[in-house]
Amino acid sequence: MYLIIATLWLFWEVKYVLFWLYLWQLKDYHVGRFADHFRTHKGKKILLDVSRVIKLVLFVLFLALGSFFVYLLYILLLVYLAEFLMLLRSVINRSIKKPKKTFKILFLGAVSFAVVVLFLAEMLKFNSPALLLGFDILTPIVVSVIVLLFQPIFVLMRNHTLRKARDKMEKIKSLGGLKVIAITGSYGKTSTKEFLSAILSKKYKVLKTKEHQNSEIGIAKCILQELKPSHQIFIAEVGAYDKGKVKEVCSILKPKIGIVTGVNEQHLALFGSLKNLLSAEGGGELADSLSKDGLLVVNGDNKYCLDLYRKFNGNKRIYSLSNKIMNSDIWTEEMIVAKKFVSFIAVNRNKEMSHFTANVLGGHCVQNLLGAILIARELGMSFGEISVACGNIFEEQAGMTLKSGKYGINIVDSSYSANPDGVFADLDYLSVFQGKRLIVMPCLIELGKKSGEIHQKIGRKIGEICDLAVITSKDKFEEIKKGAIGAGMEDRDILLCDKPQDICSIITLSCKAGDVVLLEGRVPGELINLLTL
């Protein structure tokens, strides 16, 4: 029987190790982000899982009640058999969580599995179910120790990669044909990068960083693997979770143009203070890294960007939806937000104007388009050329898509990521639909001390726009509910549910053809598959 238990234990350990490696990778091996996850309801559920509690009780009983060894062994067999069946179901449903294949993951996985196999080989000599249980319970710590133990080696490898990228960038720049544009901010980075690339590609040979490639190592790999002397423009999206990271990336890029798309409290918990956040994501380090003839471009509709603009003494430009509040370099008139496109007239200080249409969803996209249009104009493209180029922009580049759902329900998929300003903007977009409006979203993470206040504001916005809300995580559910009820939503219309099948049932029972459902933030992929055709 012990051999059967050991075999089932091994299968479970493989799945368990993969999960913890997946979680470390998901949090970019960042200790702060990893630790912050366990302050959330979902993180606490992982640590206080029923299976873990049962195993802990069994572990204590094995140590204390040796005379009942056989009975405890049968119970342990049932526990691991149940987990094996759950593992099989996950494999069949393809819902098992595993990390993406990278050199780092393959290495850490090999070390972790070697430790598991060596431990099992030793335990087979002792026939000790208590030791197997003990290792099982401590697996999260074992994997985390392995990750942290080898982190210095990967830091050395990372630094070597950064040096190679810096050398290549300097070599290509010395040829005189490359302009580098760096984009940072709490939100709007990716869509601004995508819009700018689509526009500039009409006239120049452009390279941009790929999706999720905004860390220092991701940008360095893009430079090493893809940047060529023939490229005229390199657009880099620069993200950060620590003060100093944007500065480090800019020391490689030495950007000619820096864009700050918008700043809010997203990731405030990781930075530790607003001052640190404003230094990195807030554009302070990017502004300081620009050369004397460099250009800083900021979003004039964001108060933090405005503060940066006022403090910066170099060449600078500002864009905003309206020219009534401040004297912008470019602004909009006659903006139209439709279900499948946005349309507006852009006007600059020289009184040039042109009509622009882009097949993207939501009025907030206009803000990011303005930033891209301003940069393209600075780089020598005419309004006419830019207007034509905007016709090549498509929904996915804005991070939000409109999909045909089952039973004629409209599904707005904004599940790429979520931040406070993005949630408000996506809710505003729902206003173009005439039918019933629903939102499905988790609570936001890494917001620090202002999290409760921000979630209450989100709740108020939901109450103003939506007829029904399904929140998929518990952390700030009460704050969202309080805000929604304060805005007039009925208590029964704001629900807490995290099971895709149940959420799908709620939606299909509540909606008819023509109604709209907004999937905001990291909702389960299974739910998207259940709702869409």
Model confidence over 239-276: pLDDT tens digits?
988 889 999 999 999 999 999 999 988 777 778 788 88
Q: How confident is the model at residue 2 (pLDDT cuts 50, 70, 90)?
A: confident
Average pLDDT over the chain, rounded to an integer: 91
Least confident of 229-243, 261-275, 428-442, 507-521: 261-275
Closest CA to 163 of 223, 97, 245, 208: 223
Task: Tell me what the mean pLDDT of segment 381-395 comes to.
Answer: 94
Q: What is the DSSP string of 110-176?
A: HHHHHHHHHHHHHHHHHT-HHHHHHHHHHHHHHHHHHHHHSHHHHHHHHHHHHHHHHHHHHHHHTTT
Beta-ladder partners of 235: 181, 208
| Token pair 């990390």 in the structure block, residue | 99
Task: Catalogue all structural domains in the chain, each as residue range(s) with its CATH number.
Answer: 2-149 (no CATH), 153-397 (3.40.1190.10), 400-531 (3.90.190.20)
Looking at per-residue pLDDT, the higher value among 65 and 46 belongs to 46
- Please, are residues 18 and 140 in contact by the beta-carbon 8 Å criterion? no
CA 60 from chain centre, in angstroms, equals 40
Is the pLDDT assigned to residue 404 strictly greater than 80? yes
Is the pLDDT assigned to residue 67 strictly greater than 60? no
> Which pLDDT does position 64 carry in this prediction?
83
DSSP secondary structure code for residue 442 in this structure:
P
What residues contact 285, with CB distance under 8 A and at least 6 apart?
243, 244, 246, 247, 250, 279
Model confidence over 128-151: pLDDT tens digits?
888 899 999 999 999 999 999 999
DSSP secondary structure code for residue 492 in this structure:
G
Least confident of 40-49, 341-350, 403-412: 40-49
Please tell me the distance from the alpha carbon of residue 223 to that of residue 456, in angstroms, as a whole number: 42
- Please, are residues 78 and 6 in contact by the beta-carbon 8 Å criterion? no
Q: How confident is the model at residue 424 (pLDDT cuts 50, 70, 90)?
A: very high
> Which pLDDT does position 360 carry in this prediction?
95
Please tell me the distance from the alpha carbon of residue 257 to that of residue 490, in angstroms, as a whole number: 49
Amino acid at 334: E
| pTM score, whole prediction | 0.88
Least confident of 63-77, 108-122, 471-485: 63-77
> Which pLDDT does position 411 carry in this prediction?
95
> Which pLDDT does position 66 carry in this prediction?
64
> Which pLDDT does position 92 carry in this prediction?
84
Model confidence over 283-298: pLDDT tens digits?
999 999 998 899 999 9
Looking at per-residue pLDDT, the higher value among 32 and 387 belongs to 387
Rounded to whole angstroms, what are the CA distances from 87 to 2, 38, 127, 155, 324? 20, 23, 24, 34, 59
> Which pLDDT does position 68 carry in this prediction?
67
> Which pLDDT does position 446 carry in this prediction?
81
Per DSSP, which regions of 204-312 are E strands?
A: 206-208, 233-237, 257-260, 295-299
Task: Tell me what the mean pLDDT of segment 349-358 comes to.
Answer: 93
Task: Tell me what the mean pLDDT of segment 526-533 comes to.
Answer: 88
For 92-107, b/e burial (b = at least 16 CB within 10 A) is eeeebebbeeeebbee
Is the pLDDT assigned to residue 437 strictly greater than 70? yes
- Give the sign of the dihedral formed by CA 399, CA 402, CA 403, CA 407: positive
Is the pLDDT assigned to residue 23 strictly greater than 60? yes
- Please, are residues 366 and 390 in contact by the beta-carbon 8 Å criterion? no
Q: How confident is the model at residue 315 (pLDDT cuts 50, 70, 90)?
A: very high
